[in-house]
Structure 1
Amino acid sequence: MQNFSAREKFLIANTLNCLPVLLQGRAVLIDLHNETSVAGIISIADGHMTCELTQAVFIDRNGRQNLFDNFMIRNRMIRLLHVPEDLDIRTELLNHLKNRAGRFKKTNTKRTFKQKRAEDRHKETLESITKQQQVDEK
């Protein structure tokens, strides 16, 4: 288990910065702002979306591929994170939300307005994912 700073914990809990953390140990494709891509296995991800990939393949603008044992991507370079097709991101996010909700019930702490709003936004995101899946199935 990684030790996250308070700021990273906040970002993971209240934004979609939790995606790279949820995808640790899985093979992903990440598109970068400079029109290149990197495919590999996320070994380490922090709350700011900085990712460290192992067994990485860097694909430049011309389609040439370069192999790397380790490759680090800064958060500001990430344009798009492709979720693997075999992973149901909806269930992963629901589990993440349930784990967060369970923490508040155990400690009997009152949720702040920011926390309630963040959970509502996560639920809206999940609903839009569900609607998109239903449209794709038709």
Structure 2
Amino acid sequence: MQNFSSQEKYLIANTLNCWPVMLQGHSVLIDLRNETSVAGIIDVADGHMTCELSNVVFIDRNGGQHPFDNFVVRNRMIRQIHIPTDIDVEQELRQAMERGVLRRRRVDGGNTKRTFKQKRAEVRHKETLAMITQQRSDKEQPKE
């Protein structure tokens, strides 16, 4: 288990920065901002979305493929992470939301009220889940 800083824990629990952490051990395709891509297995990811991958194939702009044993992708270079089709996105997000900072209660008996940021993050998580559910139901409905 990795040791995350308090800022990383907050980002993982309250933003979509949780995806690289949840995808550790899975094979993914990451599109980079410079029009290149990296395909490999995420070994380590932090709360800022910096990813260390193994068994990597780097795909350049011209479609050339270059194999690497290890590759590090900095968070600011990530444009998009393609989530594998065998992962249920809705279920994973629900689990991440349930175990996140939004549900945490202080052990020391301090103030247990949620802050405005926590409330707003929970609302945004719920909106994202509703959008995913709506898109899924639209795909499943037969077209006329």
State the TM-score bracket (shorter-chain normalisation). Answer: over 0.9
Matching residue of 1:124: 127
For structure 2, the residue ranges without an aligned partner over 5 or more in a row are none
Matching residue of 1:60: 60
Shift of 1:103: 3.0
Q: Deviations over 1:47-77 (max 9, x none)?
A: 1000111111100011111111110000010
Matching residue of 2:104: 103
Question: How large is the Cα RMSD of the aligned pairs?
Answer: 1.4
| Letter in structure 2 aligned against 1:64 | G
More helix by share: 1
Larger radius of gyration: 2
For structure 1, the residue ranges without an aligned partner over 5 or more in a row are none
CA distance in 2, matches of 1:57, 1:80: 16
Matching residue of 2:69: 69
Question: Per the alignment, in what secondary structure is the counterpart of residue 16 of structure 2?
Answer: coil
CA distance in 1, matches of 2:28, 2:48: 17
CA distance in 2, matches of 1:135, 1:32: 30
TM-score normalised to structure 1 length? 0.93
Shift of 1:110: 2.4
| Letter in structure 2 aligned against 1:42 | I
Shift of 1:6: 1.2
| Letter in structure 2 aligned against 1:90 | E
CA distance in 1, matches of 2:78, 2:17: 11
Runs of 4 or more, structure 1, over 6 Å off, are none
Shift of 1:18: 0.6
| Letter in structure 2 aligned against 1:128 | M
Matching residue of 2:19: 19
